Structure 1
Amino acid sequence: MIPLLDLKAQYASIKGEVDAAALRVLASGHYVLGEEVARLEEEFAAYCNARHAIAVNTGTSALHLSLLAAGVGPGDEVITVSFTFVATASAICYTGARPVFVDVEPVTLTMDPTKLEAAITPRTKAIVPVHLYGQMADMDAIRAIADKHGLPVIEDACQAHGAEYKGRRAGSIGVSGCFSFYPGKNLGACGEGGIVVTSNDEHAKTIRMLRDWGQEQRYHHLLKGFNYRMDEIQGAILRVKLRYLEDWTEARRARADRYSALLAGSRVVRAPVAVADRRHVYHVYAVRSHDREHLQHALRADGIHTGLHYPIPVHLQKAHADLGYRTGDLPVSEAAAREVLSLPIYPELTLRQVEQVVAAVEQEAYVS
């Protein structure tokens, strides 16, 4: 059996360090926003080439607080994409603003800058591109339009730890970048976690207060805040894992390269395609099939687990029917949602297992 993800294998490879970090926190008696979280913030900010990092409890909270710090509120609109996890839109809704969706590029499945300007209205307050599957959106083109209209860009980098665009790290190009540390992410906690990176001093100050009940100091509440604090034990574990992130990333990239080489010239369509000026970190490696359900079932019968990221775009989810979108409004996103299938990819996956997956994919007659 080849799993889609193997967190047990990752834990086994660093068990001694992770256990020691967790026990150190347990012995300290300090379990929320302590020294480990502070050190993680310093180290992750440096990793992203940003001045500040503010650790929170989830990637969704990171997005929510970044939007609030940018001044987004009731009656505003925020432009984003629909081919993403629902949390991107949910964070916008938490502020009282309305998500406005634009379609994605067919090759990268990230925000299509050619669709962006037409979506801007007097109510638009921010733009949130999603760095899908570990590859960054076309940030120069997006920033050019945003700057023209005086709009902040907040990067949804929840799947893109260590990704780069023309040599610049994810999270360092917009006013802020938001990351998730959900266990399955390239850098994952042993539980929930998230972080905001920014080089804007005022945004950093605001987000730090908002995550801890709006306090500037204990019992001095300047803002109406939230309980979005990171647990100290997660900070300690993430510090251990951060030291391995680059090695793990290169292992993912090597496995993705092997997939791509073996699939080259076949009937399988890779989705999305890696772009030369970007460092893709492969949170997900996906293919496209016109009969995805059959392909997925056939692979499962061969002992290969796959995933769907994401089978229903956000604009067609029942939870967001109030936004008024209909089938056909975002044709590229909708086609991708019908066809993408995520293959196993993680640092511990062997190249032999990659070959097994490709052989199983190619023997099916139903792939595009």
Structure 2
Amino acid sequence: MAETPTIRFGVIGCADIARKVSRAVALAPNAALYEAVLQDPDVDAVYVPLPTSLHVRWAVLAARSKKHVLLEKPVALTASEFDEIVEACESNGVQFMDGTMWMHHPRTASMREFLSDAQRFGQLRSIHTHFTFAADADFLENDIRVKPDLDALGSLGDEGWYCVRAILWAANYELPKTVTASRNPELNQAGVILSCGASLQWEDGKVATFHCSFLTNLTMDITAVGTKGTLHVHDFIIPYEEKEASFYAATESGFDDLVTKWSSQPSKHVIKTDIPQEARMVSEFARLVADIKFKNSKPEKKWPTISRKTQLVLDAVQASIERGFEPVQIQE
């Protein structure tokens, strides 16, 4: 069996998440970590966990230095900023991927199989997602995610990114027609969003909602409802266990005897993994980079496309808030 080539990583930034991803690089079988970055010819790729306001500058510099870019989410403050990053990556032939770790867990593929099963799930009709956690006083005062000059999108960018990605994932990345922000989002004194939500509507009648907050108890839920089945996930961002994760699938459920029992209860599906989801993310990114470096492959366009669609929905939520919670149409 041929030996898997090792891709050498550098890190630009010192956010807390950098420690987790640095561990993931060590766990991934085809990646190694280097401290020297943009000018080091031995560095193949960079992980960028900087505040969002710095993403354009450093991601573009990395791409122009021929370094492949693993960029922490949210990818940018606006889709137009993100387009600058993608243009730099494409023109320099480097791979782009954002740091949405749960996408790489094998549970996600198993859930996709259920959603794609016409006999068990049917046609998707609604998606509802939540990501909230109760931040402490120090976080609410000092964290970069509450500073307008660092991460101006606040909870919408940090937590809402995951919620929107989950909605788009469930909808096979079909963008909604309109997005309407929920009224009365909670802001800090600097105007950064601490809590917000929105509803999304598609032309075929599908609907979705999400809520994100720094001010309420930890919740990481997806509920996807089809004409025949329902998917429930309670820890979609960070699984309760590192080596396994579960979801619940229900098909043609119903009540019997005046709601005293279920005719068919949801079934629990447990999916095991040999390495954590963040290591799987790094390993997949490193595989794509290795294919480019050693096999003259082209960068995979799936990942920047998904990132841009997620950013477009965040932009629409922000625009709806600014326009007095009016519906905003999404333009690709």
Greater share of helix = 1
Whether these two folds match at TM > 0.5 is no
Alignment TM-score, normalising by the size of structure 1: 0.27
Greater share of strand = 2
Alignment TM-score, normalising by the size of structure 2: 0.29
